[in-house]
C-alpha cells in the first residue's frame, strides 16, 4: 500500500496524508486510479487501452479499458521457473507440489486437448471438482482459449448440478471419481453418469482419479481419463488468445436456496484487476508469500485464491474437512507449509475457539502475517481469540463482498489499525456508502450497503438474461443507478465497517430493524452453544425473534440457560434483540459454502416451500424446524 502511494507521488505528484484521502481520490478519479493499479500490478496485455472508463454515468453500462487486449491465464502464468506454484494436500494425507514450470506445461497440454475437441472462445467448460491442481490447470487452459469456466464442488447433488450447469450447457466437463471428507470416501461416478445423461451439451467427460487408481467408467460413453486426455507428446506451444478486457471469464452462481440460481458472468479483465488490487494492496501479497484459503471450487474465494498466481506467490490447496483428523488439522498444515496468509470462514475461527484450540501454545506460526475471514461477520469474540490464542502480531482482516462481484467491497489494509469487531476499510476504487431508507448517506448508523459508482469487477451480464431484467432486479431495483448489495451495515467512527446481516433476513420486531449478526455476536460468547440461527416469525400482527441453538454435548436447554442467553443478548444490545423463543435443534442448515440459510428456515417455520435444497450441505437439517409445537404458542 505504501509503495503504491509512493508511485502516485512519483507519477501524478499526489501526496496523500492518509488512507482516507487516498480512498476518496480513488472513487473521485476512477480513470486515474485504475490505470495506476494496472501499471503497479504489471498487467500483461498485447494492447494497451484507448480509454480507461467510458459512460461512467451508466451503472450498469460503464465500459472499462476499451481497446485493451489481454488474457487472464497469461497473467497467472507469467512465472515459468522451478519455483513452487502449488502445494496440494488431501484429507487422506496425500501431498503433491507443482512448480510454475510444470503448471505452465500442464496448462499447455490441457489447452491443446481442448482445442483438439473444437473448444473455442465463448464455449463453456465446467468443473465438478475438488480443490486440487488439476482443477486450476483445467480453468487456466479454458481461459487461455477464451472459453468460459464454471465450477461447483463435488458435494452438490444432481439437482444442484442441473440447476447450474444445465443452464449454461458446457461442452466439456472435468470431474473427479470421488473425494475424501471427514474420514469418508465419497463416490462421484454414479452422479457423473446421470449428469452426462441429462445434460446433452456435454460431449466429453474428463475424469481425474482421486480415490481410485483406475476407476471403471465403461458405462459413461463420454468419459476419458485425465492422463489420456492431455496432449502430452508433441504439445503445441500454449497460445493465449488476446481478448477484450470485458471478455467473459467465469460463470458464478447465486446460492439457489430461494429459487433457481442466477448465472453471474464475470469478465477476465475486471476480475484480474480487482483481485490484484485486493491481494497486493489490501493483503500485501508478495511473491515470497504462501497463500491459503479454505474453500471449495464452488465458492468465489477459490477464484480469488488462484489469482494469487499472478503475484507469483505459492498457493496451498486443501480438500477435505478442516477438522479431520482433529481440530488442529489446518493449523498443523499452516505450520508445516509455512503459510504466511491464511484464509477461512468466520465459522471456522469460532469453531476453533469453541474447541479450546490454542495454536499460540502448540504451533510455530512464525511465517504467518495475516488471517483473512469471510463468509459471515466475524464476532468481537473471534477477534479477541485470534490475537490472544493464535498470534498477537498479525493483521486480522475480515472481508466482505460476494459472488456477485467476485471480490470485496470492504476488506483489510495492512497499514491501518485493526479495531475489534470491525472490517478495516472500504476497498480502493469502491464508492461504498451506507444509506438510510430515504437514500441518504449515513455514518455510525445502520442502513443499506450500496456502491454509488461503477467498478471493473461488476458482472458483465447474467446468463440467459437478454434484457438485463434479472441483473437490474438483483442490484439496481432499490436505487436505480446505484448498486445495492443487500447487506445491512454500518460505517464506524474509525472508517471501518460492521456487517449486521443480510437485508432480506433483517428482523423487524415492533418496527425496529435488527441485523441477525448483532444477535450472533452475543451468542458466540457462550461456551454452551456451538451454533445458532435466528429468524423473525410472524406473530400477532408483529414479528417475534426466534433463536435456534445447537448445544454442546451434555448441555440441556433449561430455563437457567435460556435466561443466561437472554441476559447476554440484552446486556450488549437492546431489549428488542432478545429472542421470544429459544429452541434447541440438532443442526443448523447451511449452504455448501458454509453459510447459514436464514430465509429457508424462515420459510419452513411459516409452512412455505423451500426449493433447490441441493444447494445445501445438509438439507435434512431443515426437518428440525418444521411444525414445532413451541412456535404455535
| CATH (one of 3.40.50.2300, 3.30.420.40, 2.30.38.10, 1.10.3720.10) for 422-501 | 2.30.38.10
What distance in Å separates the CA atoms of residue 390 and residue 161, rounded to the nearest whole number? 38
Mean pLDDT (the chain) is 94
In the predicted structure, residue 561 carries a pLDDT above the cut 80 = yes
The predicted pLDDT at position 256 comes to 65
State pLDDT tens for residues 197-226: 999 999 999 999 999 988 888 778 899 999
Q: For residues 383 and 93, what is the distance between their CA atoms, to the nearest angstrom?
A: 31
* Model confidence at 612: pLDDT above 80: no
From CA 111, how far away is CA 522, in angstroms rounded?
Answer: 51
List the domain boundaries for the chain.
100-244, 422-501, 506-632
The per-residue pLDDT for 442 is 97
pLDDT band at 473 (very low <50, low <70, confident <90, very high): very high
Q: What's the whole-number mean pLDDT along residues 161-170?
A: 94
CA 104 to chain centre: 26
Least confident of 152-161, 186-195, 317-326, 359-368: 152-161
Q: What's the grid cell of residue 228?
A: 489420456
Domain 506-632 in CATH 3.40.50.300: no
Residue of 516, 535, 512 whose CA lies nearest to 603:
535
Give the mean model confidence (pLDDT) for residues 495-503.
92
What is the pTM (predicted TM-score) of this model? 0.90
Q: Does domain 100-244 have CATH number 3.40.640.10?
A: no
Per-residue pLDDT, 259 = 66
- What pLDDT sits at residue 328? 97
Q: How many CB atoms lie within 10 A of CB 332?
A: 14
Neighbours of 223 (CB within 10 A): 23
What pLDDT sits at residue 323? 95
The tens digit of pLDDT for each residue in 20-44 reads 999 999 999 999 999 999 999 999 9
Q: Mapped to the 3 state alphabet, what secondary structure does 116-181 carry?
A: HCCCCCCCEEEEECCCCHHHHHHHHHHHHHCCEEEEECCCCCHHHHHHHHHHHCCCEEEEECEEEE
Average pLDDT over residues 525-550: 92
Residue 10 has pLDDT above 80, yes or no: yes
Our CA angle for 405, 409, 414, nearest 5°, is 125
Q: Is 301 in contact with 283 (CB distance < 8 Å)? A: no
Please report the pLDDT score of residue 508 as a whole number.
Answer: 81
DSSP 427: P
pLDDT value at 396 more than 80: yes
Predicted local distance difference test score (pLDDT) of residue 218: 78
Whole-number pLDDT of residue 511: 75
291-325 pLDDT, tens per residue? 999 999 999 999 999 999 999 999 999 999 999 99
Amino acid at each position: 500500500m505504501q509503495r503504491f502511494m509512493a508511485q502516485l507521488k512519483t507519477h501524478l505528484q499526489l501526496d496523500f496524508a492518509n488512507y482516507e484521502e487516498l480512498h476518496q481520490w480513488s472513487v473521485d478519479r476512477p480513470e486515474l486510479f485504475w490505470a495506476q493499479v494496472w501499471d503497479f500490478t504489471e498487467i500483461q496485455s498485447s494492447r494497451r487501452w484507448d480509454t480507461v472508463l467510458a459512460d461512467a454515468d451508466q451503472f450498469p453500462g460503464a465500459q472499462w479499458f476499451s481497446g485493451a487486449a489481454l488474457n487472464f491465464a497469461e497473467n497467472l502464468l507469467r512465472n515459468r521457473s522451478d519455483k513452487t506454484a502449488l502445494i496440494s494436500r488431501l484429507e487422506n494425507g496425500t501431498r503433491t507440489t507443482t512448480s510454475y514450470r510444470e503448471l505452465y506445461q500442464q496448462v499447455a497440454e490441457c489447452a491443446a486437448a481442448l482445442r483438439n475437441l473444437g473448444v473455442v472462445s465463448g464455449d463453456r467448460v465446467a468443473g465438478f471438482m475438488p480443490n486440487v491442481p488439476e482443477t486450476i490447470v483445467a480453468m487456466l487452459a479454458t481461459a487461455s482459449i477464451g472459453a468460459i469456466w464454471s465450477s461447483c464442488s463435488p458435494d452438490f447433488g444432481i439437482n444442484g448440478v442441473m440447476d447450474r450447469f444445465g443452464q449454461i450447457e458446457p461442452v466439456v466437463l472435468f470431474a473427479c471419481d470421488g473425494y475424501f471428507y471427514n474420514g469418508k470416501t465419497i463416490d462421484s461416478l454414479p452422479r457423473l453418469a446421470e449428469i452426462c445423461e441429462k445434460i446433452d451439451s456435454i460431449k466429453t467427460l474428463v475424469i481425474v482419479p482421486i480415490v481410485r487408481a483406475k476407476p471403471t467408467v465403461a458405462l459413461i460413453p463420454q468419459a476419458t481419463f485425465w492422463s489420456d486426455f492431455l496432449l502430452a507428446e508433441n504439445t503445441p506451444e500454449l497460445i493465449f488468445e488476446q481478448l477484450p478486457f470485458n471478455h467473459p471469464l467465469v460463470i458464478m452462481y447465486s446460492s439457489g436456496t430461494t429459487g433457481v440460481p442466477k448465472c453471474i458472468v464475470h469478465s477476465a479483465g475486471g476480475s484480474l484487476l480487482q483481485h490484484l488490487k485486493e491481494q497486493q494492496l489490501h493483503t500485501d501479497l508478495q511473491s515470497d508469500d504462501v497463500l491459503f484459503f479454505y474453500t471449495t471450487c464452488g465458492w468465489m474465494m477459490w477464484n480469488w485464491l488462484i489469482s494469487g498466481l499472478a503475484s507469483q506467490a505459492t498457493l496451498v490447496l486443501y480438500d477435505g474437512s478442516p477438522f479431520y483428523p482433529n481440530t488442529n488439522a489446518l493449523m498443523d498444515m499452516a505450520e508445516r507449509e509455512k503459510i504466511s496468509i491464511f484464509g477461512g470462514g468466520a465459522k471456522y475461527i469460532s469453531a476453533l475457539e469453541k474447541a479450546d484450540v490454542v495454536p499460540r501454545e502448540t504451533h510455530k506460526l512464525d511465517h504467518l502475517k495475516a488471517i483473512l475471514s469471510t463468509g459471515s461477520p466475524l464476532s468481537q469474540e473471534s477477534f479477541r481469540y485470534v490475537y490472544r490464542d493464535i498470534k498477537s502480531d498479525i493483521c486480522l482482516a475480515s472481508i466482505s463482498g460476494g459472488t456477485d462481484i467476485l471480490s470485496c467491497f470492504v476488506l483489510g489494509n495492512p497499514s491501518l489499525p485493526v479495531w475489534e469487531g470491525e472490517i478495516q476499510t472500504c476497498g480502493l476504487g469502491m464508492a461504498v456508502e451506507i444509506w438510510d431508507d430515504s437514500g441518504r448517506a449515513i455514518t455510525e448508523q445502520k442502513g443499506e450497503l450500496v456502491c454509488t459508482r461503477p467498478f471493473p469487477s461488476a458482472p458483465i451480464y447474467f446468463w440467459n438474461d437478454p434484457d438485463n431484467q434479472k441483473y437490474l432486479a438483483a442490484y439496481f431495483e432499490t436505487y436505480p443507478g446505484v448498486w445495492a448489495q443487500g447487506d445491512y451495515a454500518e460505517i464506524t467512527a474509525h472508517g471501518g465497517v460492521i456487517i449486521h446481516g443480510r437485508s432480506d433476513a433483517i428482523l423487524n420486531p415492533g418496527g425496529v430493524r435488527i441485523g441477525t449478526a448483532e444477535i450472533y455476536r452475543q451468542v458466540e460468547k457462550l461456551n454452551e452453544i456451538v451454533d445458532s440461527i435466528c429468524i423473525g416469525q410472524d406473530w400477532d400482527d408483529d414479528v417475534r425473534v426466534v433463536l435456534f441453538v445447537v448445544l454442546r454435548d451434555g448441555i440441556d436447554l433449561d430455563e437457567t440457560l435460556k435466561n443466561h442467553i437472554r441476559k447476554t443478548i440484552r446486556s450488549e444490545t437492546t431489549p428488542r434483540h432478545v429472542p421470544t423463543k429459544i429452541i434447541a435443534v440438532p443442526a443448523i442448515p447451511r449452504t455448501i459454502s458454509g453459510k447459514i440459510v436464514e430465509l429457508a428456515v424462515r420459510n419452513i417455520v411459516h409452512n412455505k416451500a423451500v426449493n433447490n435444497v441441493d444447494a445445501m450441505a445438509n438439507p435434512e437439517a431443515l426437518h428440525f424446524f418444521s411444525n414445532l409445537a413451541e412456535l404455535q404458542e
